[in-house]
Amino acid sequence: MKALTSTQYFFNRQTAFYRGKVRDVYTIADDLLVIVATDRISAFDHVLPKSIPYKGQVLTEIASLFLDLTSDIVPNWKLATPDPHVTIGKRCEAIPIEFVVRQYLTGHAWRTYRDGGRLLCGNVLPEGLKENDKLPEPIVTPATKAVSGHDEDISADEILSRKLLTRERWEALRNISLKLFSRGTEYAASKGLILVDTKYEFGIHDNQIYLIDEVHTPDSSRFFYANTYEDLQQAGKPQRQLSKEFVREWLMENGFQGLEGQVMPDMPDAFVESITKRYVELYTVMTGKEFKPRSYEHVVEEIEENIKNALIKFV
């Protein structure tokens, strides 16, 4: 199966290019960003050896939906989505803190709890919980944004003592994050899903807070199916979930967690195909629409043309 692994363009008035783990980022005239969501996939801060067909399209279209659905809570960076893999938006000064909101004990939070941790980013976790149990209330567990390597958990007290944010800005961003999570929870429930946890990233533009990056996608969030949650939880069985967590679980089963000396396992084509199916499944459930996969026949040329036509309006 074909996939969009990378791009290499040069646009009018382009001033910078950056290749992230899964996105190619073009800066235009120092105040616009063109972000191409490729089909690369990462886990444990490593890019996996094979790209996932249609992943970038799914992420772009879901993120675009949620940026529109939350714009009344906080302004966001998006200006246009001229292509299924592309978002054009305002260049903001990124705040170097990820705001992770958790309502269930899963993923990193569960692994910390399982290993005896009861304090997560300043939040005290109650005793007696099982994996995937619902927490008494949503908690915010920030992480520092690492340029390379792993992001690291950090508490509100550490953020303030290190002067990474003022108290006023910390409170504002925390409250915005909880409002966004509430909106995402309500929307997910209307589609028969549970928003388990997610992360939000913010930036500053003209001294105003903007929501940046992607929102409520399977790369930034976990979702459970609501209709099977209670039965599976009571039976002590794994939850049916739509997220990237199953990719991490597969890697761990094959001896890889991104640690020094570990070798990335080869990804069978059948596993790659199963990841695509999971992403498409989430798109269908979340949007209520049939997924219309783009053609990869001339994808690199089509993306370039769509971006050039869109930039005429902004540059």
* Same domain flag for 81 and 106: no
253 in any annotated domain:
no
Percent of the chain with pLDDT over 90: 90
Please tell me the predicted confidence (pLDDT) of residue 78.
98
CA–CA gap between residue 315 and residue 271 (Å, rounded) = 42
Distance CA 132, CA 237 (A): 10
Q: In this structure, is residue 254 part of a structural domain?
A: no
- Predicted structure pTM score: 0.91
Domain membership of residue 6 (yes or no) is no
Query: Contact at 8 Å (CB) between 189 and 286?
Result: no
Residue-range definition of the domain harbouring residue 167? 94-242
Q: Are residues 99 and 236 in the same domain?
A: yes
Q: With bands split at pLDDT 50, 70 and 90, how would you rate the model's confidence at 150? A: low
Phi and psi, residue 102, nearest 5°:
-125, 135
Pull the structure tokens for residue 150. Answer: 């792993």
Please report the pLDDT score of residue 245 as a whole number.
80
CA distance 121 to 144: 11
- pLDDT score of 243: 81
Whether residues 110 and 208 share a domain: the answer is yes
Where does the pLDDT of residue 160 fall: very low under 50, low under 70, confident under 90, or very high at 90 and above? very high
Are 224 and 202 in a shared domain?
yes
User: How far is it, in rounded angstroms, from Cα 248 to Cα 240?
Assistant: 15
CATH code of residue 68: 3.30.200.20
Domain count, the chain: 2
219: pLDDT confidence band, cut at 50, 70 and 90? confident
What CATH number does residue 181 fall under?
A: 3.30.470.20
25 with 44, same domain: the answer is: yes
pLDDT score, position 236: 96
Query: Where is average pLDDT lowest: 200-209, 214-223, 241-250?
Result: 241-250
Q: Is residue 265 part of a domain?
A: no
Assess if residue 250 is contained within a domain: no
For residues 281 and 231, membership in a common domain is answered with no
Please, what's the b/e burial string for 220-244 (b: 16 or more CB within 10 A of its CB; e: otherwise)?
Answer: bbbbbbeeebeeebeeeeebebbbb
Mean pLDDT across the chain = 94
Whether residues 38 and 117 share a domain: the answer is: no
Model pLDDT for residues 18-46, shown as the tens digit of each residue: 999 999 999 999 999 999 999 999 998 89
- The predicted model gives 199-223 an average pLDDT of 94
My answer on whether 126 and 238 are in the same domain is: yes
The backbone torsions φ and ψ at residue 181, rounded to the nearest 5 degrees and listed phi first, read: -65, -40
At residue 147, the pLDDT reads 56
pLDDT exceeds 90 at position 64: yes
143, 37: one domain: no
Domain end call among 242, 259, 281: 242
**What pLDDT shows up at residue 83?**
98
Tell whether 258 is covered by a domain.
no
Residue 249 lies in a domain: no
For residue 242, the model assigns a pLDDT of 82
The reply to whether 112 and 19 lie within a common domain is no
Residues 181 and 51 in one domain: no
Per-residue model confidence as pLDDT tens digits over 103-118: 999 989 999 999 999 9
Task: For residue range 173-185, list pLDDT tens digits in order.
Answer: 999 999 999 999 9
Final residue in a domain of this structure, among 197, 227, 242: 242
Q: Looking at the domain assignment, is residue 1 inside a domain?
A: no
Clarify whether residues 52 and 158 are in a common domain: no
Specify the pLDDT at position 165.
96
Look at 249 and 236; give whichever has higher pLDDT. Answer: 236
